[in-house]
Structure 1
Amino acid sequence: MDTTLLQNRDYTLIIAKTTLDEANKPPGFAERWNAAQGAIVSLAQACEAHDPDGITLYVSCLDPQESCQFKKYEHVTSDRLTQLIQENIPPHQINLREVLELALEDYFARKTAGTTKLNGEIMIVLLDGEPSDRMAVARAIKTATQKMEVNEELGIGFVQIGEDLLAKGFLTALDDHLQSVGAKFDIVHTKSLDTISPDSLMAFLMDTLFD
């Protein structure tokens, strides 16, 4: 496949990190994001290589002053990524639909204004569990596909942190059945982070557009 389609494109990274009360944490829960930190930075660097003005970053946060569960940062470089993740306290549950709709609405608003890059955008969502609003997430993606003109203008990659079986089932359904519920294009690709090796990052980004 033509990897030039990864160039001249915007990249958005959504960090959907959650936390649990100490009494309810399964073994290894607290360590899984720390263990994944290097791989997440490598993924951000792969995006940054094609988006030299910096990626857009949404990070989950538990902040009553915020109207959304996520903080948005623009023009982020990979060397700032770890700091921005660590300075935000994650919530117990994620409203993934809300942040995904914000990111998608932002893309289509920029497209209407003629300020998107020529090849479109790739969004990468890193999550550690099943979202509480899984059906709403699927509907948001389905609605977004109706606004698209060609399949490769927009891709959404979901990357699972950890081994939550409910999250795995949700992501598999998104990957395999999106068009069967009325989506115009299949724009979702899902992977477990521990299966994305440093030398397969470009393949993962391409699969987000075409798989």
Structure 2
Amino acid sequence: MVENRDYTLIIDKSGSMSMTDQSGGKSRWVMMQESTLALASKCEEFDPDGITIYLFSGRFKRYDNVNASKVAQIFRENEPSGRTDLAAVLLDATNNYFQRKAAGQTKPNGDTILVVTDGEPDDRKAVMKVIIEASRHMDRDEELAISFI
């Protein structure tokens, strides 16, 4: 983790996330909640204004300025269902970053986007197109990082 950097977490909430194939008979969704809580807690040390969390399936929802205390509420409000439309949510996240950058509202060290998914996106080529297009708007290689987990 890097200081003076924003962190964005994009979480798959498609139907397959309800599968109970994790240790202790837990669902992927429950494991994701536990991991998100741990990540949000760690990020608070480096990103005190909170992280941005997106939940996505066929549609997506964005939660801004999330701290560890809000994570449980977000997961209570959502249940896994639907498709894996990663391209639309990733486009919104990258556009949001560049809009904030243009308005002088980004952190000096940029943004890290972590995508947590358990499967293939509906349209791989559309996802690649979003990433390529975002790279064309970057001033420095390290200003925007996208990792798939």
Same fold by TM (over 0.5)? yes
- TM-score under structure 2 normalisation? 0.86
* CA-based RMSD: 2.1
1:87 has 2:83 as partner: no
Deviation at 1:95, TM superposition (A): 1.0
Equivalent position to 1:120, from 93, 99, 110: 110
Which of 1 and 2 has higher RCO (CA within 8 Å, sep 6+)? 2
Deviation at 1:112, TM superposition (A): 1.1
Equivalent position to 1:34, from 25, 30, 34: 30
Q: Does the 8 A contact of 1:15 with 1:127 survive in 2? A: yes
Percent identity of paired positions between Structure 1 and Structure 2: 43
Equivalent position to 1:107, from 97, 100, 108: 97
Shift in CA distance, 61/146, structure 1 to aligned 2, threshold 3 Å: closer
Looking at structure 1, the residues matched to 130 and 100 of structure 2 have their Cα atoms a distance apart, in angstroms, of: 18
Shift in CA distance, 77/156, structure 1 to aligned 2, threshold 3 Å: same
| One-letter amino acid matched to 1:10 | D
Q: Does the 8 A contact of 1:56 with 1:73 survive in 2? A: yes
Give SS of 2:79's match.
coil
What are the superposed Cα offsets for residues 60-114 of structure 1, whole Å, 9 maximum, x if unpaired? Answer: 367xxxxxx1111111101211320231133321211000000100100111111
Correspondence 1:1-211 to 2 at 5 A: 6-19=2-15, 28=21, 31-60=27-56, 69-159=59-149
Give SS of 2:15's match.
coil
Deviation at 1:35, TM superposition (A): 3.2
Looking at structure 2, the residues matched to 61 and 133 of structure 1 have their Cα atoms a distance apart, in angstroms, of: 13
What are the superposed Cα offsets for residues 107-135 of structure 1, whole Å, 9 maximum, x if unpaired? Answer: 00111111111111111111121111111
Structure 2: where are the runs of 5+ without partners? none
| One-letter amino acid matched to 1:7 | E
What are the superposed Cα offsets for residues 138-196 of structure 1, whole Å, 9 maximum, x if unpaired? Answer: 1100110111111111111211xxxxxxxxxxxxxxxxxxxxxxxxxxxxxxxxxxxxx
Looking at structure 1, the residues matched to 111 and 52 of structure 2 have their Cα atoms a distance apart, in angstroms, of: 11
Structure 1: where are the runs of 5+ without partners? 63-68, 160-211
Deviation at 1:26, TM superposition (A): 6.6
Paired residues, number: 145
Shift in CA distance, 61/137, structure 1 to aligned 2, threshold 3 Å: closer
* Aligned match of 1:65: none
Give SS of 2:21's match.
coil
